[in-house]
Amino acid sequence: MKRRLFLFRVIAIAIPFGILLVLELALRLFNYGYDYRLFVEDKQNRDYWVMNQDASKKYFPDQTIATTGNKEPFKKEKNPNTIRIFVLGESTTIGYPYFHNGSFHRMLFYRLMHSMPDKNFEIVNVSLTAVNSYTILDFARQVVDQQPDAVLIFTGHNEYYGALGVGSTQQLGTSRGLVKTILYLRQLKITQLLTNAWLHLRSLGGKGNSEKKDRMELMAKDQNIAYVSAQFNAGVDQFQKNMEETLQLFQDHDVPVYLSTVVSNEKDLTPFVSEKPADNKQKNFDDAFHEGMNALTIGDLPQASINLKKADSIFSRSAICNYQLGRTFLQLGQTDSARAYFTKAVDLDMLRFRAPSAINKTIRLLSGKYHNTILVDAEAAFQHYAAHQVIGNDLILEHVHPNITGYALLSQSFYEAMKKKGFLKVQEGNEMSFDELIHRMPVTKPDSLAGYYKVFNLKRMWPFAARNPSKKDTLSVVSQEEQLAYAMAFDHKSWETTQSELYAYYISNSDSASAKKVIEGLLLEHPLDTELYEMAGNICGQLHDYKYALSYFKRSFQLQPSVSKAKTILVLLLQEDMPADAIPYIDYAIHNTTSGYDYTSLKKTTAAIVQLKTLADKTPGDFALLNNIATQYYTMGNKSCAEKYVKRVLQLAPSNKDALLLNTRLKQRG
């Protein structure tokens, strides 16, 4: 009887767990809720994975604020010639406010595509706006299974107010273990069920966006985080521990990580919230500070520095006082002192939308701790590039997000770090320089303008402006490009729609150079669309940009070979005097042609040129060989290459009869 009673008790205790298990299984069976996996099968191509658009919902249970990431496909089975790079991070990492090709990873992709044309790059950005190191760690666990060749990380600004950040989970305290438990539990369908029930109950109160904004403002007022307070330290500690776990994971899997320092606007952004001195110090501080400000306003810099320093000695935790000291010392030409004050101002700013310097300190520390983690010092690169070596509006749009030049600089920082480490082996002559990248990168005027419009609007609101800003829209929207940018910025039209309208506009205005940028931008967005590569190749051809035309046709051929593409490529290669490279395409045409055209004689002539060129390289003074190459090119109708070799001979031997004769024939042909 005793034994039976014991058994009953065991069963009774097991029942609640059984019920929960059955409920969980039933919810899974009926596909209740969301799938939070980071990668799902690409619906357009079953051989590829893409980022799951529901993955972010794990971090933002309130669907109205859940952000979504990019959809950049990568092959389930990685090809041998592919270099696969994953990008992890936050809003800056995904390219806010431009997104698409305004982000640093697309600039990197564009540069690598042209600098290393023989390699296939898959650069997959899984960043999300408003997430922090908890999401990085969570995503890293899934990224590591996808055969990454490298991982690029840029994060650190959202440790306080990002999803599950220290300032966002006050009611739960700052326990990292608890947050990790919550993230684990959120994977359960039962938790999703309870969350949805809770959100439904809450929504019965009916809160609109404007009310939410007010709520956010009030919430933020309660969430001022003082420098080196318990909460401040918890944010840094959370970042360090999450990143340690992330970097250890990649090290265990032998994946190199390029970890970047973060950047923020120090020079041109007044701190959001400054701590106030205690009552007994308030008057003395205010007097000294206002005297300092008056002196600064009239340009009396020595007096300004004396008074502001006095204010700082009365109360050293004022962000605004340190900021004004930074401005004063910058005008005095003392850059190092100015930078120190600006950095301190960011550290003391109690509304922590910008990472304090402790985050970059941690990043530098961690880069030295893990042997496969390489430091990408974006902060140093930005400081070097910025006016007076202090980061300001020339590179940052508002508090943390770079402008187009800033994003190019960020891509340059990662590119240089990867090159220096030997991860990227760029062939001399092929490399796209930084200046070339700035000039060529496919960011259209409306792309850039749309970012400007978004930030313009953002800056009219809290926390950048007063609580009730003027609703007056002072943006000038006149030209077609401005109208498209405006529509794109405020979601009246999708990015795709604006790009196709923009392309039509440029074509109707015979602006092929701008149309080329649109097509190049579209192909970066859809790297598997062979038609876009052909369109880009054709426009580059029209613009006599044969190197890029060739590069695009080759990409298109790699994705979907055809005789017509092979024919275009071999013509371009022969035009560029690259006969050896043309042979595989001639072979392809020979084996696959259905038109009956005989490519064998072309192959014969091309092979002969290859042989002659090899001999000519060994005996550079042999004019007969050079003339022979010119004749072969002339025979196949390649006038530009024939001229090239004839000119070479005539430069060295102006009276060479064969060259003169061929030159005459070339001129006659016209």
Q: How many CB atoms lie within 10 A of CB 652?
A: 13
| Nearest distance from C-beta of residue 216 to other proteins, angstroms | 5
Buried b / exposed e along 263-287 (16+ C-beta atoms within 10 A): bbbbbbbebbbbbebeeeeeeebee
User: Residue 550 in 3-state DSSP?
Assistant: helix
Q: Closest approach of Cβ 329 to other proteins, in Å?
A: 30
CB of 351 to other proteins, least distance (A): 9
Q: Is the Cβ of residue 350 or residue 569 nearer to other proteins in the bound state?
A: 350
Instruction: Using the minimum distance from each CB to other proteins, give the nearer residue, 212 or 603.
Output: 212
CB atoms within 10 A of CB 83: 18
Q: Which is nearer to other proteins, 182 or 426 (CB)?
A: 182
Nearer to other proteins, 392 or 463 (CB): 463
Burial of 481 (0-12, 13-18, 19+ CB in 10 A): buried
Amino acid at residue number 626: L
User: Least distance (Å) from other proteins to the CB of residue 464?
Assistant: 9
- In DSSP terms, which residues pair with 207 in a beta bridge? none
* Smallest distance from other proteins to CB 137, Å: 16
- Give 69 or 165: the residue with its C-beta nearer to other proteins: 165
- Smallest CA-to-CA distance from 106 within 116, 120, 119, 121 is with 121
What H or E segment, with its residue span, contains residue 259? strand 257-260
CB 328 within 8 A of CB 136: no
Containing 645, the helix (H) or strand (E) segment is helix 639-652
- CB of residue 393 to other proteins, shortest distance in Å: 18
Report in angstroms how near the CB of residue 158 gets to other proteins at its nearest: 5
DSSP state of 401: -
**Residue in the structure block whose two tokens are 């990409």:** 555
- SS3 of 147, please? coil
Taking the complex as a whole, how short is the minimal distance between the CB of residue 473 and other proteins, in angstroms? Answer: 12
Cα-flanking dihedrals φ and ψ of residue 209, to 5°? -60, -40
- C-beta of 454: minimal distance to other proteins in Å? 7
In three-state secondary structure terms, 120 is strand
Task: Kindly provide the residue ranges of all beta strands, DSSP E only, lying in 557-625, ordered along the sequence.
Answer: none
- The token pair that represents 668 in the structure block: 């006659």
Q: For residue 387, what are the contacts with CB-CB under 8 A and spacing of at least 6?
A: 394
Cα distances from 23 to residues 12, 182, 184, 189, 199, in angstroms, run 17, 19, 17, 9, 20
Question: Are 545 and 522 within 8 A, CB to CB?
Answer: no
CB 338 within 8 A of CB 387: no
Nearest-approach distance from CB 243 to other proteins, in angstroms: 18
**Nearest distance in Å: CB 97, other proteins:** 8
State the chain's maximal CA–CA distance in angstroms: 120
Give the residue with the Cβ less far from other proteins, 195 or 331: 195
* Cα 47–Cα 48–Cα 50 angle in degrees, nearest 5: 155
- Looking at the Cβ atoms of 250 and 272, the one nearer to other proteins is 272
How would you classify the pairing of strands 39-41 and 48-51?
antiparallel
The residue ranges that bind other proteins (CB under 8 A) are 4-5, 8-9, 11-13, 15-17, 19-20, 60-62, 65-67, 91, 96, 129-131, 158, 161-165, 167-172, 179, 181-182, 185, 190-191, 194-195, 198-199, 209, 212-213, 216, 219-220, 223, 353, 454, 457-458, 461, 463
Beta strands at 257-260 and 39-41: parallel, antiparallel or unpaired: unpaired
Query: Residue 245 is encoded by which pair of tokens?
Result: 């776990």
- Six token digits for residue 610: 């290859």
Nearer to other proteins (CB atom), residue 454 or residue 516: 454
Minimum Å gap between C-beta 362 and other proteins is: 19
CB of 15 to other proteins, least distance (A): 4
Residue with tokens 């390219």, as numbered in its chain: 95
Nearer to other proteins, 196 or 480 (CB): 196
Contact 142, 557 (CB under 8 A): no
- Nearer to other proteins among residue 26 and residue 65 (C-beta): 65
Task: Please say whether the beta carbons of 122 and 25 come within 8 A.
Answer: no
For other proteins, the closer of residues 8 and 597 by Cβ is 8
H or E segment to which residue 379 belongs = helix 378-385
Q: Rounded distance, CA 554 to CA 591, Å?
A: 18
Cβ-based neighbour number of residue 350 at 10 Å:
20
Judged by CB, which is closer to other proteins: 66, or 140?
66
CA distance 441 to 432: 11
Output 19 or 624, the one with its CB closest to other proteins. Answer: 19
**Please, which residue, 70 or 568, has the CB nearer to other proteins?**
70
**Pick from 422, 454, 417, 439: which is nearest to 545 by CA?**
439
Element (H, E) at 48: strand 48-51
Q: How far is the CB of 578 from other proteins (least distance, A)?
A: 47
* Closest CB 171 distance from other proteins, rounded Å: 5
Between residues 165 and 446, which has the closer beta carbon with respect to other proteins? 165
Tell me the residue type at 241.
K
The residue among 186 and 603 lying less far from other proteins, judged by its C-beta, is 186
Instruction: Provide the minimum distance between the beta carbon of 643 and other proteins in the complex, in angstroms, as a whole number.
Output: 57
Q: Is 325 left (phi over 0), alpha (psi -120 to 50) or beta?
A: alpha
Give the nearest distance from C-beta 182 to other proteins in angstroms. 5
Placement of tokens 């097991």 in the chain: 14
Which is closer to other proteins, CB of 189 or CB of 516? Answer: 189
